[in-house]
Each structure stands twice: as C-alpha cells, then as structure tokens.
Amino acid sequence: MLVTFKTTAYADITMFGDAATALLKLMGHSGNIPGAIMADDVANALAQLKENLSARPEESVEKTDDDDENNRVALATRAVPLIELLEAAAASGANVQWDS
C-alpha cells in the first residue's frame, strides 16, 4: 500500500504504508488511513514527530530485496520529505491530509 500526504502548502508526498503508519504514530495519531491534521495541530504533530525520531535514531522500517541489515532504511531518513511538508503546512497555516 502507498500513502499520499497532501497539503496546499507543499507538493504531495507518497511513501510506503508501513513507513507512513509508523510516522503517523510518532506524530501522536492512530495511524489510520485516511486521516487529517487540522492547521492548528500541524506544528504540534511536527514537534512530536521530530522529538520521537530523535529518541529512536536507529529504528528502521524496511529492508531491501537482499534482506541484508546493512540495507535497511532508517525511519528518520524516510521522514525527511514528510517533515518538510509539515513545516510548510505549519508556516502557511494549512491542513494536512493523507489517504491511500
């Protein structure tokens, strides 16, 4: 499953469902898809996401096809585009929504 995050303040971001769900939970949301964050709550969700990612820098979500531990992609790396989207939404007072 793919999940697309949308806001009027930034380009759409699409990511794999497992990474999206994990990031949503780190923002303090249930991880349900579809969903939304109202503009007034975006800054708080962004702060929670950054705080939780910094507390777990080694956490990984997905392995590549070779199933080698050296090929895991850190959740913090996967979060970069979403963090940029949330920063833009917070700066412009825009809602954020996501769906599959």
Q: Where are the domains of the chain?
A: 2-99
Q: What is the pLDDT of residue 57?
A: 60
Q: What is the pLDDT of residue 87?
A: 98
pTM of the model: 0.85
pLDDT of 13 strictly over 70: yes
pLDDT of 100 strictly over 70: yes
Q: What is the pLDDT of residue 9?
A: 96
- Which sign does the torsion angle of CA 11, 85, 18, 100 carry? negative
Alpha carbon 54 to its chain's center: 14
pLDDT of 15 strictly over 80: yes
Q: What is the pLDDT of residue 53?
A: 92
Residues with Cβ within 8 Å of 30's Cβ and at least 6 positions away in sequence, in order, are 24
Per residue in 31-87, pLDDT (tens digit) is 999 999 999 999 999 999 999 998 876 654 554 555 556 667 789 999 999 999 999
Q: What is the pLDDT of residue 72?
A: 73
